[in-house]
């Protein structure tokens, strides 16, 4: 456990040493989640746990949106601090990776299916916790939470299947996986756990398998019941969201490109990070677990074909990869019209199950080293040496597919680095097979060094300095004791993002950009052409932030604060209060 904690601290050295933060840009973490978390923390500090956020759109039932994570226990330390320190948010994001590694380590060590040695279990844990899906989703901590609970759920299945009193151990990780709050990650993880439960029930034979199945069904039912306070309102909200409103024929994209198979060897081939990825218009996670782990996964699979315990991770990895291909693969077209699958069409995210399977197989390969014949080890060592030589010599020609000189240089660096890792893995693997402690320890440390070197800086950047530009404008707005909303003109959103106003305690008539926002309010809001239309009065927008020197937006709107260096504040005298009475009505025949 201490090693994994130290590994996580090493991986996040840019945070502790250089004062960086993640992810690059505001991302979902700072742009969508932090504003809502700050709202929750403010009210918890007052002694109220809010289920509704009145500061965005026309109000939002935030309990029903799992990505806000009101019922996710990992978020509760954040809600107990007001204001939430940025360092605590970063620590919360890093915690998910440590939780994932610890869970896989315990699964590989304590599960009756595996019972692997310490070095083998650490190999799998390091490969999984620093795999590319975790790095890509540092700005989506709720996604990482779901991935982190997966190995715990597998361990819970193994215990619940074999022990009558371990049903709770099987139920709790399932509940936590669902409460993580990211629909796609939780759906894919829950399916994997369900398939694994069926596998373990079948492994029990007759009649023990039936008893296993009964205990596992009970554990799953309890886990779902524990998560029901989020699941039920979440399922009610789902058809009302922006994502659900996308026509079925337009639900595509974010599928795993088959050309990215080379990125399992080195993510540098197609570029890592938003600013380097060049294969498609939207960056897709590669599933990379480290070249060292990939080299170990080969004997982990081929050297254990007679062992049925390797069949499930191999089958899960193959099925998940076929699903991740989306419409280009054989699985998703069969499921696209089913509930949940039709709403979660970003199939590339299922690649994290491939990373999980590869990490387990890498641990199995490390275990194979300690009991394989000398001839088998020699074949593996020779094969790795040839792979390394082939990568080194063929890299200049293969990288010609890159579009420009800089991507080619990165791809060349990645392939040749993988070639060197192949040689080092062959040497350390041979030493490990001969019982050398330094060989086993060296293999784990080599994998850790590779993942830290290629991943620690991918999603980090210098922490931006606090912006005090609008201090005087905030003082002006806070001087108004009445109720009102503040809107930001589209031309001024880059100067003063609306979510910053929300975090400063003001209500805004828009959301945070979350694709799971309520669709009908956004339709109402963005179909109002300008602030002079009668419908805009109902939004209660009394103040409008506009670029410096912008003319008044229409009749009844004029500047009232112009002392800010970048923006002005206009007063909308036509804004209606939160509640009003209608004394006279007129019935019209049509809206035309």
pLDDT, tens digit (0-9, with 9 covering 90-100), for 339-381:
888 877 889 999 999 999 999 999 999 999 888 888 999 999 9
Task: Give the pLDDT score at 252.
Answer: 74
The whole-number average pLDDT for the span 415-433 is 92
462: β partners: 20
Per-residue pLDDT at 130: 97
Neighbour-count burial of 262, counting CB atoms closer than 10 A to its CB (0-12 exposed, 13-18 middle, 19+ buried): middle
Q: What tokens appear for 310 in the block?
A: 């390797």
pLDDT at residue 581 greater than cutoff 90:
no
* Mean pLDDT, residues 266-277 taken together: 91
With bands split at pLDDT 50, 70 and 90, how would you rate the model's confidence at 387? very high
Point out which residues pair with 574 in neighbouring strands.
Answer: none
| pLDDT value for 206 | 84
Pairing of strands 541-547, 567-572: antiparallel
Residue 557 pairs with which residues in a beta bridge? 572
In the chain, % of residues over pLDDT 70 = 100
Contact 575, 537 (CB under 8 A): yes
Q: Which among 458, 408, 451 has a CA at the least distance from the CA of 291?
A: 451
Which residue in the block uniquely carries the two structure tokens 């700050």? 38
382-390 mean pLDDT:
94
pLDDT of 592 reads 53
pLDDT tens track for 509-561? 988 888 889 999 999 888 898 888 888 999 999 999 999 998 888 888 999 99
pTM (whole model) above 0.75: yes
Predicted confidence at residue 374, as pLDDT, reads 87
Give the 3-state secondary structure of residue 545: strand
Give alpha helix (H) positions in 112-247.
Answer: 118-129, 132-136, 141-162, 167-179, 183-203, 208-237
* pLDDT tier for residue 393 given thresholds of 50, 70 and 90: very high
Mean pLDDT of all residues in the chain?
92
- Rounded Cα distance between 410 and 414, Å, is 6
User: Measured between alpha carbons, how far is 420 from 422 in angstroms, rounded to an integer?
Assistant: 5
Token pair for 402? 């890159």
Distance CA 561, CA 476 (A): 8
User: Is the predicted pLDDT of residue 591 greater than 70, yes or no?
Assistant: no
Q: Is the pLDDT of residue 163 over 90?
A: no
Give mean pLDDT, residues 133-152.
95
Question: At residue 186, does pLDDT exceed 60?
Answer: yes
Q: Bridge-partner residues for 461, per DSSP? A: 21
Distances (CA, A) of 411 to 136, 346, 398, 415: 19, 26, 9, 6
The two beta strands, 541-547 and 485-488, are: parallel
How confident is residue 442, by pLDDT bands cut at 50, 70 and 90?
Answer: very high
| Whether pLDDT at 439 is above 60 | yes
Please count the other Cβ atoms lying within 10 Å of the Cβ belonging to residue 200: 22
Give me the torsion for CA of 133, 139, 143, 144, rounded to 10°.
Answer: 60
Condensed to tens digits (0 to 9), the pLDDT of residues 282-293 reads 888 899 999 999
Residue 162 token pair: 């074999």
For residue 322, the tally of other CB atoms under 10 A from its CB is: 18
Confidence band for 69, pLDDT divided at 50, 70 and 90: very high
CA distance 119 to 243: 44
Determine the pLDDT at residue 338.
84
A 10 A CB-CB count for 298 gives 17
């Amino acid at each position: 456990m201490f090693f994994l904690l130290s590994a996580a601290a090493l991986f996040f050295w840019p945070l502790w040493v250089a004062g960086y933060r993640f992810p690059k840009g505001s991302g979902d973490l700072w742009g969508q989640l932090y504003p809502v978390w700050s709202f929750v923390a403010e009210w918890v500090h007052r002694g109220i746990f809010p289920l509704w956020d009145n500061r965005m759109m026309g109000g939002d039932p935030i309990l029903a949106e799992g990505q806000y994570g009101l019922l996710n226990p990992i978020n509760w330390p954040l809600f107990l601090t007001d204001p939430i320190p940025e360092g605590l948010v970063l620590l919360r994001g890093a915690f998910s990776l440590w939780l994932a590694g610890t869970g896989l380590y315990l699964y590989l060590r304590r599960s009756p299916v595996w019972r692997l040695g310490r070095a083998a279990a650490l190999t799998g844990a390091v490969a999984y916790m620093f795999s590319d899906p975790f790095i890509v989703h540092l700005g989506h901590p709720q996604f990482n939470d779901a991935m982190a609970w997966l190995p715990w759920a597998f361990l819970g299945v193994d215990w619940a299947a074999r022990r009558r009193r371990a049903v709770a151990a099987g139920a709790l990780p399932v509940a936590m996986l669902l409460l993580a709050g990211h629909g796609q990650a939780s759906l894919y993880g829950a399916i994997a756990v369900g398939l694994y439960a069926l596998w373990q029930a079948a492994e029990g034979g007759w009649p023990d398998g039936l008893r296993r199945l009964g205990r596992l069904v009970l554990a799953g039912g309890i886990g779902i019941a524990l998560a029901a306070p989020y699941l039920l309102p979440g399922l009610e909200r789902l058809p009302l969201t922006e994502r659900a409103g996308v026509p079925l024929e337009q639900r595509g994209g974010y599928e795993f490109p088959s050309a990215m198979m080379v990125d399992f060897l080195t993510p540098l081939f197609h570029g890592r990070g938003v600013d380097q990825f060049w294969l498609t218009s939207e960056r897709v996670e590669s599933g990379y677990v480290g070249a060292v782990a990939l080299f170990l996964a080969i004997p982990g699979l081929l050297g254990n074909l007679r062992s049925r315990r390797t069949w499930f991770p191999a089958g899960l990895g193959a099925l998940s990869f076929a699903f991740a291909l989306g419409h280009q693969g054989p699985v998703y077209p069969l499921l696209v019209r089913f509930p949940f699958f039709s709403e979660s069409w970003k199939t590339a995210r299922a690649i994290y199950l491939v990373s999980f399977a590869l990490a387990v197989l890498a641990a199995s390969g490390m275990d194979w080293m300690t009991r394989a014949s000398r001839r088998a080890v020699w074949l593996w060592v020779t094969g790795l040496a040839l792979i390394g030589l082939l990568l080194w010599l063929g890299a200049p020609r293969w990288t010609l597919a890159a579009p420009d000189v800089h991507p080619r240089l990165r791809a060349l660096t990645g392939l040749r680095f993988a070639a060197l890792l192949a040689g080092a893995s062959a040497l350390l693997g041979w030493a490990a097979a001969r019982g050398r402690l330094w060989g086993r320890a060296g293999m784990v440390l080599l994998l850790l060094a590779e993942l830290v070197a290629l991943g620690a800086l991918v999603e980090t950047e210098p922490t931006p300095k606090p912006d005090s530009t609008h201090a005087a404008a905030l003082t002006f707005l806070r001087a108004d004791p009445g109720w009102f909303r503040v809107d930001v003109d589209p031309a001024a959103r880059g100067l003063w993002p609306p979510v910053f106003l929300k975090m400063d305690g003001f209500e805004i008539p828009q959301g945070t950009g979350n694709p799971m926002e309520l669709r009908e309010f956004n339709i109402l809001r963005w179909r109002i052409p300008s602030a002079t239309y009668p419908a805009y009065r109902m939004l209660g927008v009394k103040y409008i932030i506009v670029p410096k020197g912008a003319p008044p937006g229409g009749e009844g709107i004029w500047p009232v604060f112009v002392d800010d260096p970048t923006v002005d504040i206009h007063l909308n005298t036509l804004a209606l209060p939160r509640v009003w009475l209608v004394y006279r009505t007129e019935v019209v025949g049509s809206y035309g």
